A and B are shown apart, each in its own frame.
Chain A
Amino acid sequence: MRFLLIIISIICLLPSCAVKYRPIRMEHLSYLDTVINNNKDLQISTSTVDIFLESGNKRIAKKAHKKKLVFVPMHVCNLGIDTFYFENRSFEVFNDFEPVDILEKDGFYKKIRQNPGLYLLESGLAGSAALILSGGTFSILVAWYNIYNIPFYSGFYNTYKAYKANGALYRNISDLNILDKKIAPNQTCYVIICLKTANYNNLMIRIK
Chain B
Amino acid sequence: MSNYLHSIAFVIFCAIMTPANSQYDFYIISGKILDKDNSLEVKEVTIRIFELGKTFKSNERGQFKFALREGLYNISFEKEGYYLDSLAIKVYNDTTFFVEIESIVKQTILKQVVVVANRKVEVEKIEPGLTRISQIDVQSLASLGGEKDIVKSLQTLPGVQQSFEGSANIIVRGGTPDQNLYLLDNVKIYNTNHAMGLLSSYNPSLVKSIEFYRGGFPANYGGFISSVMDVKTKDYIAPRLDANIELGIISGSANFSSPLPFNGSIILSARRTFIDLLSHFGSRYNIVPYAFSDYGGKLMFKRENQYLELEYFLSSDRLKDKLKGKGTNGVSSFSRLAWGTSMVNLSHNLKVRHNTDNKVQLFYTSYKLSSEEEYKGPTASSNFSGSVNSNIFSIGLTDRIQVKLSDSITLSFGGNYSYTEFDPAYLKGADADSAFLYRYIPETGIHESGVFIDAEIKTPWRITIRPGIRYDYYRTPNKTFNNPQVRVSAQYRIKKGQYIKSSYTQSVQPTVLLTNTGLGIPFDIWLPLRGNILPQKADQYTLGFYAGFTNITFTVEGFYKKMDNVVTYKDGHGSNDIIKSYSQRDQLWEQSVEQGKATSKGVEFFLEKTSGRYTGWLSYTLSSSVNKFPEMNNGQEFWSPFDRRHTINVNGSIPLGKKWKMNVNWQFLSGQPITLPKSLYLIDNVSLIDNHNFQWDEPTLVYMYGKRNGDRMKAIHHLDIGFRRNVKFKFFRGSIEFGAYNVYNRKNPYYYYGKIDSLEDGSITGAIKSVSLLPIIPYLNIKWLPFHK
Contact = CB atoms under 8 A, between A and B. Distances in A.
A99 interface: yes
A36 B25 contact: yes
Contacts of B24: 38
Interface in B38-62: 49, 52, 54, 56
Contacts of A40: 23
A97 B24 CA distance: 14
Contacts of A98: 56, 66-67
A38 B25 contact: yes
Contacts, number: 33
Nearest to B66: A97
Contact of A204 (B49, B54, B65, B67): B67
A96 interface: yes
B66 A38 contact: no
A40 B23 CA distance: 9
B26 interface: yes
A19 B54 CA distance: 41
Interface in A65-100: 92, 94, 96-99
A111 interface: no
A38 B68 CA distance: 13
B66 A36 contact: no
Nearest to A40: B23
Contacts of B54: 96-97
B67 A94 contact: yes
Contacts of A92: 28
Chain B contact residues (Cβ within 8 angstroms of A): what range? 10 to 19
Interface string A40-84: 100000000000000000000000000000000000000000000
B52 A97 contact: yes
Nearest to B52: A97
Nearest to A96: B54
Contacts of A36: 25-26
B302 to A, nearest CB: 38
Contacts of A97: 49, 52, 54, 56, 66-68
A38 B25 CA distance: 7
Contacts of A37: 25
B173 to A, nearest CB: 46
A206 interface: yes
A94 B25 contact: no
Interface centre among B23, B28, B56, B67, by most chain A C-beta atoms within 10 angstroms, is: B67
A37 B24 CA distance: 8
A8 B26 CA distance: 58
A94 B23 contact: no
Chain A contact residues (Cβ within 8 angstroms of B): what range? 10 to 19
- SS class, residues of chain B in contact with chain A: strand
A38 B67 contact: no
Interface in B527-580: none
A149 to B, nearest CB: 45
Contacts of B25: 36-38, 204
Contacts of A38: 21, 23-26
A99 B65 contact: yes
A36 B70 CA distance: 13
B394 to A, nearest CB: 57
Interface string B52-95: 10101000000001111000000000000000000000000000
B56 A94 contact: no
Contacts of B67: 94, 97-99, 204, 206
B708 to A, nearest CB: 57
A189 to B, nearest CB: 23
Contacts of B66: 94, 97-99
Interface string B635-670: 000000000000000000000000000000000000
Contacts of B56: 97-98
A51 B28 CA distance: 30
Interface string A90-126: 0010101111000000000000000000000000000
A96 B52 CA distance: 10
A92 B27 CA distance: 12
B68 to A, nearest CB: 7
Contacts of B26: 36, 38, 94, 204, 206
Contacts of B52: 97
A84 B158 CA distance: 59
B223 to A, nearest CB: 53
B192 to A, nearest CB: 48
A36 B23 CA distance: 12
A93 to B, nearest CB: 10
B64 to A, nearest CB: 10
A204 B27 CA distance: 10
A27 to B, nearest CB: 28
Nearest to A38: B24
Contacts of B21: 38
A160 B28 CA distance: 48
A204 to B, nearest CB: 5
Interface in B15-43: 21, 23-26, 28
Nearest to B67: A94
Contacts of A99: 65-67
B51 to A, nearest CB: 11
A206 B28 contact: yes
Nearest to A92: B28
A207 to B, nearest CB: 10
Nearest to B29: A97
Interface of A: 36-38, 40, 92, 94, 96-99, 204, 206
Given A98-B66, A204-B67, A206-B28, 7 more contacts: A94-B26, A96-B54, A97-B66, A99-B65, A99-B67, A204-B25, A204-B26
9 contacts: A38-B25, A40-B23, A94-B26, A97-B49, A97-B52, A97-B54, A97-B67, A98-B67, A204-B67
10 tightest A-B contacts by CB? A94-B67, A36-B25, A97-B67, A38-B24, A97-B66, A99-B65, A204-B26, A204-B67, A98-B66, A36-B26
